[in-house]
Amino acid sequence: MDFTKGNIGRSIFVFSVPIILGNLFQQLYSLVNSIFVGKYLGVEELAAVGSTYPVVFFITSMVLGIGSGGSVAVSHYYGAKDYESIHKIISTFYIFFILLGLVICIFGIVSADCIFAMLGLNQQVRTMAVEYFRIYMAGMFFSVIFHSAVSILRGLGDSVTQLWFLIPANILNIVLSYLFLGVMNLGIEASAFASLISQFCAFAALFIFLGRKHEFVKLPSIKNLFFSRVYLRQIVSIGVPTGLQQSIVSLTQILILFLVTSFGTDAIAGYSAAVRVESIALIFVLNIAQALTSFTGTNLGAGLSERSKQGLKTSIKLMGIVALVTLIIFCFGSRWLIGLFTTEQAVIEIGSQYLVVDGLFWFLFGVMMTFTAYFRGAGYAFVTLVISFITLWLARFPISWYLSSLMGVKGIWLGAPLAWLLSIIIYLIYYKKKNISNSKIVKS
């Protein structure tokens, strides 16, 4: 897709829909696992799987954030029609991501027990969480490499190809989860194995396809490998701050989980089910934002700064539509949604309470992520990192902790919208003062 031409709203919407669908199917791995575990195993098993979600989300956020560094860099060179640099940066990107995938996989398996010991879970829930997490992390290597190719494709304007591999992989995950838990009555580890097998199949099928059909994005042969510290620096200069910024969001969830554990197993299970549902709404926001990042990068690379600013304004309008739909679903369907995971009324009450608060203030989150995407696409990833650190760590966690001491578990949920509002105010001030008119990446 050529972002430098045509209707802005249509370009962002058409590009974002396949990304939304792709990440929706990506999220279905953990969502399906939670539903089957909650239905066939029990509340403690649901709490165990749910406890792994913020940690998995943290790792995935870091990977996707770093991947966006490659996506933005590729989009800038693509906008500038510098195809020689695109070949070189893709080879550099693959080498970096293969090493990154190995490190993440090994670290997750080795440190699992230490990670969940710090969250204050009771011994039974903790043991199950560690068992599930270690198996899930073995499949993370394939997921990391899969996302490296998807990031490059997005930088080239292709958000559709990933769907042809994610959809069958998720169907396989559903079938295996039902077979392992519903038919064979296996334990929590079987749910993780279902995801591992599905992730491997998606990875293998994608790269077989790219090797035959896509000259740009296929894995380079040994003799064609190219690694450049210059291109790596460009990827890292955007990707690492973006990864850290997105991981701050997920680390905040881990800190919130730490607060929730003090309210007992029902609260953990309710929170776990609610964030699974929230992750679906999150996809629509994050991937409209991802489309804006690519749109901004391509237009700034082509010298079209005013068009990139119009993209920002159009994306905020799209976020308004998403927020309205989320408000209606979360406020009127919250109990039914949490009821998909469990029949325990205490768990349903806590989880539905979380979703109602989310729905009422979801537009604030959407606007915050729109500004984040715009500055990231312009090459100012470090700015988004600083703002996220200030608002989500220095503001949200203390606010949630204080309100929980006054209002109970409901106070934890109310800390989020206050932090989102603070972030928007800071972004607006910076946007008014900073006149972005060119591509930092191509210029460098």
pLDDT tens digits, residue range 80-138?
A: 676 777 777 788 888 888 898 899 889 889 988 888 887 777 788 888 888 888 988 88
- pLDDT band, very low/low/confident/very high, at 321 (cuts 50, 70, 90): very high
- Using DSSP, state whether 60 is helix, strand or coil: helix
Q: Is residue 287 domain-resident?
A: yes
Q: Is residue 394 domain-resident?
A: yes
Bigger pLDDT: 442 vs 86: 86
pTM: 0.66
Q: CA-CA distance, 283 to 290, in Å (whole number)?
A: 10
Q: Is residue 392 domain-resident?
A: yes
Q: Is residue 444 domain-resident?
A: no
Q: Is residue 266 domain-resident?
A: yes
pLDDT tens string 262-317: 887 788 888 888 887 887 888 788 778 878 887 887 777 777 777 878 888 888 99
Out of 16-20, 23-27, 223-227, 343-347, pick the least confident.
23-27
**8 A C-beta contact, residue 234 and residue 91:** no
* Cβ density class 249-263: b for 16+ within 10 Å, e for less: bbbbbbbbbebbbeb
84 is in which domain, residue-wise? Answer: 8-439
Residue 252: is its pLDDT beyond 70? yes
- pLDDT band, very low/low/confident/very high, at 207 (cuts 50, 70, 90): confident
pLDDT tens string 361-396: 999 999 999 998 888 877 777 788 788 888 877 788
- pLDDT given at position 155: 75
Average pLDDT over residues 30-49: 76
- pLDDT given at position 329: 93
pLDDT tens string 153-176: 877 777 678 778 888 888 888 888
Tokens of 349: 């009450």
Give the type of residue at 285.
Answer: V
The vertex-401 CA angle with 396 and 406, nearest 5°, equals 125
Average pLDDT over residues 315-324: 91
- pLDDT band, very low/low/confident/very high, at 246 (cuts 50, 70, 90): low
Average pLDDT over residues 237-263: 74
pLDDT tens string 216-244: 677 666 666 777 777 778 777 777 776 77
Bigger pLDDT: 235 vs 23: 235
Q: Is residue 1 domain-resident?
A: no
Residue 398: is its pLDDT beyond 70? yes
**8 A C-beta contact, residue 43 and residue 265:** yes
Q: CA-CA distance, 390 to 365, in Å (whole number)?
A: 15
Average pLDDT over residues 171-191: 84
Bigger pLDDT: 42 vs 348: 348
In this structure, the number of other CB atoms found within 10 A of the CB of residue 313 comes to 12
- pLDDT given at position 324: 95
Q: How many domains does the chain have?
A: 1
Q: CA-CA distance, 245 to 248, in Å (whole number)?
A: 5
Using CB atoms within 10 Å of the CB of residue 140, give its burial: 0 to 12 exposed, 13 to 18 middle, 19+ buried.
buried
Average pLDDT over residues 239-261: 74
Highest mean pLDDT out of 6-15, 260-269, 331-340: 331-340
Look-up of token digits 């279905």: 28
Q: Is residue 318 domain-resident?
A: yes
Tokens of 169: 């992989």
pLDDT tens string 55-65: 887 787 778 77
Average pLDDT over residues 11-15: 75
Bigger pLDDT: 313 vs 24: 313
In this structure, the number of other CB atoms found within 10 A of the CB of residue 438 comes to 13
* Cβ density class 269-294: b for 16+ within 10 Å, e for less: bbbbbbbbbbbbbbbbbbbbbbbbbb
Q: Is residue 2 domain-resident?
A: no
- pLDDT given at position 441: 47
